[in-house]
Amino acid sequence: MEITRPTVMEVDLKAFKHNIDQIKKYVGEDVKLMPVIKANAYGTYINKVNEEINKFDIVAVATVDEAVELRIQGYEKEIFVLNQAYKEEIEKIVKYNITIGISSDSFADELGKINDPVSVHIEIGTGMGRTGINPKRVEEYIKKVRNYKNVKIEGIYTHLSSADSDEEYTKKQLYYFENSVKKAKEILGEIKYIHCNASNGILNFTENSYNLVRPGMIMYGYEPFNGAKEKIDLKPVCKLKSRITFLKEVEEGASIGYSRTFITKRKTKVATIPIGYADGLKRTLSNKGHVFIKGHILPIIGSVCMDGFMVDVTDVEDICVGDEVYIWDNKNITLEEVAEAAGTMNYEMMCTISNRVPRIFIH
């Protein structure tokens, strides 16, 4: 379908390849990459580009339905679901040959009731406080799961909660995980996949990368923590942009937008931009955020609407309907700056740009 909407996200696949190459260099050739492409590849929709994801032997998603979508799309290699699945999803897991993370006793029992083969990674709860078995139960749980002849244990993993901010706590998690891995190997022998490092762990605890890592945010070229780009050369992959669709001039004292949250203090030229909170642009940017137009950083005025917002363009002499507007361009306005103004983080800012915004892939 031809894209006619003026609001788009540009996704640079060359930058994505650059980031992948940098991560491979960082972790070394003996460590395999399992890119995390959940939540539509953090909002970039790179998960929809078969030529890119087919370069990987295994990819990670968050839900069984995300995995099914990849299978239907044509990805034939390994898909790993990071989060504990539900018993109602077992039929899909089998049908679409999906590998799943498990740490639930009841779910393991449900898997054991079927005749079809299923591959799993066992999750160890080392301190995330979410899912995962207690490290003290590693031997017991592995023997329980292995007792089900149709269930093949192919991996063991954990989630590091604070690899960006708390070295001491992370080292405790790694200690528990290393002991769990040793116990698992005593029972299972060599294990195909051992993994604990996502983006923060990759950059700060590289020596604990085992044989598989789960790059997420760094794959898309953005910092998972301040200073990350001092450790690795990253290129942001996406720009969010739109165009001016309406211009008008109002007098001093005019109200702009819903609830009259902005009153002009001078004769003001106002531009309307067709992207709003239904597109994922945070309403908290009302009267706080800025955009980049024709060499100028300009303020958002009034409340962000469902389908658009307004900008004060009074100081730009040659402004016209159709001029490009960057919500972020990674240079004049960064994703991190937009996220900070919105009171959130770059992860959320990217992931919540809705499917109303077309993605344009730049090769």
Establish whether 265 is a catalytic residue: no
Q: What angle do CA 49, 54, 55 make, to 5 degrees?
A: 115
Q: 259 burial class (0-12, 13-18, 19+ CB within 10 angstroms)?
A: exposed
Nearest alpha carbon to residue 346 among 205, 185, 226: 226
Phi and psi angles of residue 121, each rounded to the nearest 5 degrees, phi first? -115, 135
Residue that has been written with the tokens 């009259």 in this structure: 260
Helix (H) or strand (E) holding 254: none
Sheet of strand 151-157, all strands in order from the earlier edge strand to the far edge: 58-61, 78-81, 99-102, 118-123, 151-157, 193-195
Give the Cα separation of 7 and 248 in Å (integer). Answer: 20
Q: Which of 38, 239, 241, 282 is catalytic?
A: 38
Nearest alpha carbon to residue 26 among 217, 209, 222, 227: 209
DSSP per-residue string spanning 177-217: HHHHHHHHHHHHSS-SEEE---HHHHHH-GGG-TTEE---G
Helix-strand-coil percent breakdown of the chain, rounded to 5? 35, 25, 40
Establish whether 152 is a catalytic residue: no
Question: Largest alpha-carbon pair distance within the chain?
Answer: 78
Q: Which of 14, 175, 258, 331 is catalytic?
A: 258
List residues with catalytic annotation. Answer: 38, 258
